A and B are shown apart, each in its own frame.
Chain A
Amino acid sequence: MTAREAAAGPVVTGIGVCAPTGIGTEAHWQAVLAGKSGIRRIDRFDPTPYPVRYAGQVPGFSAKEHLPARLIPQTDHWTHLGLAAAASALADAGVDPAELPEYEMAVVTAGSSGGTEFGQHEMTRLYRNGPSWVGAYQSIAWFYAATTGQISIRHGMRGPCGVLCCEQAGGLDVLGQARRLVRLGARLVVSGGTDASLCPYGLAAQLTAGGLSTVDDPARAYLPFDAAASGHLPGEGGALLIVESAAAARDRGAGEGYGTVAGYAAGFDPPPGSPRPPALRRTIERALADAGLQPADVDVVFADAAGLPARDLAEARALAAVFGPRAVPVTAPKTLTGRLYGGGAALDVATALLALRDGVIPHTAGPERPAPGCEIDLVTARPRDADLRTALVVARGHGGFNAALVLRRPRWHRAPAGSVHQHRAPSGTRGGSG
């Protein structure tokens, strides 16, 4: 590759979505633009005993339609979603892995909680029946590397595979890692993440983190940056992306794909009680510097949007400090899916790339009354047309993780001829009540 290409970063040539907003990239994108929520009453188990009963669930997902039959009992639901999204991303990129050098393809996924549902089943067997009832697949289904390993095996990818666990920030960190691997010689990296901890034990664990909203109305439970913010709802699914070296993509005629990974940075918050400021602001600034861009170059920000007043305020302040108060449109379509942990930031990146493609900022369905002190231009109520060249995606993970990723649309981008407008939500209606 040329020095300029190496400096510009790798490109994203394929997107595979398996999310509460839909299976498949276009289904997801249309739902996002229409403000159609994927949040509904939990149906993988009876949520009645729990203070949180709604979650983002992938609608109509059948593992049988996406996976070889023998793989289904060997893997957790989280891996099913990951395998489905990976295959879809490869198809979208128009790549046949069998035709590429095996050692130049890698898989790096974000893990957050592993095969929780599978693990709960096996622990139930262990405690009810005894050790010999634990199945042979527990050893390969529960651990955090299961999805990466299975994707690598299914597609014959023998390069440097990996898993990073940085809770919700991990979806950006793996794209940073994909860029690192491309710089070291990888041609193609399957990257991103999925999550699925919607089992009783997974929900019980999430309830202890203090971030879940117990508001029993799916349209009012997750309202980031709103005066009524009360936390978030959980969700399952996510997105996997095909990250390619710019030269490899160009040589096979894929151009710059959906866009370029132009900048990335990660930072960690100071320990609790430290007088030092949180890391988000400087993480964003470093990602912009890494991309060689100024704040004014950013056309839209996909926010982390924790949905908790203090966390929202901290994020709004960081954005206002970098860009100026209300100086850049900010959005958080994740109100339609809930927070997806290992899958969340990767899905935000997918959505941001689609926004760059179509020149439209998807709105944040739900929030109506800005929380005091949140000096951001939150795009609400309906999508907003805009000439988008550069998007910033921000993510924070439980415990202090911060990450920021800068995406640039292809240089030879042509705005779509009006096709996006048919997706627009009728004016005056409010999304979010799926």
Chain B
Amino acid sequence: MSRTAAITGIGVVAPGGLGREAFWELLTEGRTATRRITLFDPAAFRSRIAAEVDFDPRAAGLTAPQIRRMDRAAQFAVVAAREAVADSGLDLAGADPERLAVSIGSAVGCTTGLEQEYAVLADEGRRWLVDHTLGVPHLYGYMVPSTLAVEVAREVAAEGPVALVSTGCTSGLDAVGHGAALIEEGSADIVIAGATEAPLSPITSACFDAIRATSPNNDDAEHASRPFDARRDGFVLGEGAAVLVLEETAAARRRGAPGYAHIVGFAGRSNAFHMTGLKPDGREMAEAVRVALDRARLGPDDVDYVNAHGSGTKQNDRHETAAFKRALGRRAHEIPVSSIKSMIGHSLGAIGSLETAACALALERQVVPPTANLRHADPECDLDYVPRTAREHAMDVVLTVGSGFGGFQTAMLLARPGARGGRG
């Protein structure tokens, strides 16, 4: 019998409140966590808004040495991992460390720490030949994003395969998919899988300003992230982490943990078109969805909800809507499709894991989170995007997708434990 991965624990550090339940409450209330940036002075930027996490690392349980050593992204990851492990009820001390793996996604790694240290070593741009004697001992740890996976691996004492997955804005989905693959192929029995991002730093804002990807709707920060709305004008940056405990489904069942959801299909495709541009036809994302369905031994009619990438850029939402129609046909018009980026912004590499967490909770609780701020219909986006209000909805299978710089398109299917059909 083939092995599959079950999600048995969820940990979340998200804008709007720490922890899994605060996250779910925000999503189902349709509240938004976007606001004027407070982490640095955004006055000089085109987009001055973001979804920030109110995070006190000490209160979140980290020690002083950890706080000094770890970039904010690593802090998020470790805190989320702890919550996920506690939630799973697993006793990791009793697990075989060699069968415990880690797969963490991040698009931009320790950007915040790298930029802060650059500003010191380069005396705020005055020295090209930076002063290395000012380098903090953990500066190399900031330069290599693998540090984020290292910190999680040390936290859980994993000795199996450990990797940092970095595929831009699909990193969070790809990291969970990678974790599931490790279980399916037998390289691990438990995987701590998820993603983290703390990109809210001047260099990040500047680079997205430069390509006008982020929303300039500074005067209405609360309503600035408007996926699928006709007046959408770019994404709103976010930050956060979600970490999941993945277990081999049969082993989890044996210990009485059916889990929130089973990962039944995963596939990635690339558009090989442009680093940031998307063709409107959604062809490659549709192909990823088709292959994921195929691997799950499911068809379009089995999909009960789509958690969209829904970034709120003009091109993304159109591209994605076309992809759903292409991959799911008539079914695309029959089922709810929503974007939680409307509430927690776009946290780049982390968002795919946050969305996976949202899907797992949606399956468990049979509630679809809404697309907040959706008021003006766009004729090019004509699906049921669950505007503004969460909805009770019977779901056995949900689809979540990601689309990112580099042209990467990822699709993952989650099934409710006990759901009939397919691989679940």
Contacts from A to B (Cβ < 8 Å):
45-46, 49-51, 74, 102-103, 106-107, 111-114, 116, 119-120, 122-128, 130-132, 134-136, 138-140, 142-146, 148-150, 152-153, 155-167, 170, 173, 180, 197, 200-209, 266-272, 274, 276, 279, 282, 341, 397-401
Contact = CB atoms under 8 A, between A and B. Distances in A.
Given A162-B174, A268-B158, 13 more contacts: A51-B132, A114-B109, A119-B203, A127-B122, A132-B206, A134-B207, A143-B107, A160-B269, A166-B149, A166-B164, A268-B159, A268-B161, A270-B157
A164 B165 contact: yes
Given A145-B166, A162-B174, A162-B268, A205 B407 contact: no
Nearest to A266: B161
B39 interface: no
B243 interface: no
Contacts of A208: 132, 135-140
B158 A145 contact: no
B167 A159 contact: no
Nearest to B45: A131
A202 B143 contact: yes
B12 interface: no
Nearest to B118: A123
Contacts of A279: 98, 159
Contacts of B102: 268
- Chain B interface residue number, banded: 35 or more
Contacts of B174: 162
Contact of B121 (A142, A165, A204): A204
B139 A205 contact: yes
Interface in B78-118: 97-98, 102, 107-109, 114-115, 118
B274 to A, nearest CB: 7
Nearest to B43: A131
B389 interface: no
Interface of B: 44-46, 97-98, 102, 107-109, 114-115, 118-119, 121-122, 124-126, 128-132, 135-147, 149-150, 153-154, 157-168, 174, 178, 181, 185, 187, 202-203, 205-211, 213, 267-276, 284, 287, 404-408
A370 B119 CA distance: 43
B190 to A, nearest CB: 13
B324 to A, nearest CB: 19
Contacts of A143: 107-108, 166, 168, 405
Contact of B159 (A139, A144, A269): A269
Contact of A153 (B45, B125, B132, B275): B275
A183 B54 CA distance: 43
A149 B406 contact: yes
A152 B203 CA distance: 26
B202 A126 contact: yes
A197 to B, nearest CB: 7
A201 B121 contact: yes
A164 B145 CA distance: 10
B417 to A, nearest CB: 24
B122 A267 contact: no
Contact of B135 (A127, A144, A170, A205): A205
B139 A204 contact: yes
Contacts of B132: 49-51, 200, 203-204, 207-208
B126 A140 contact: no
Contacts of A398: 140-141, 144, 146, 150
Contacts of B131: 49, 204
Given A160-B268, A201-B118, A45 B129 contact: yes
B144 A135 contact: no
Nearest to B268: A160
7 contacts: A107-B270, A112-B146, A145-B168, A159-B269, A164-B163, A267-B161, A400-B150
A271 B203 CA distance: 33
Contacts of B108: 142-144
Contacts of A206: 140, 143
Contact of B272 (A74, A102, A113, A276): A102
Contact of B128 (A45, A50, A135, A162): A45
A-B residue pairs, 4 tightest by C-beta: A149-B406, A127-B125, A399-B150, A209-B140
A49 to B, nearest CB: 6
Contacts of B44: 130-131
A164 B164 contact: yes
Contact of A111 (B139, B147, B166, B407): B166
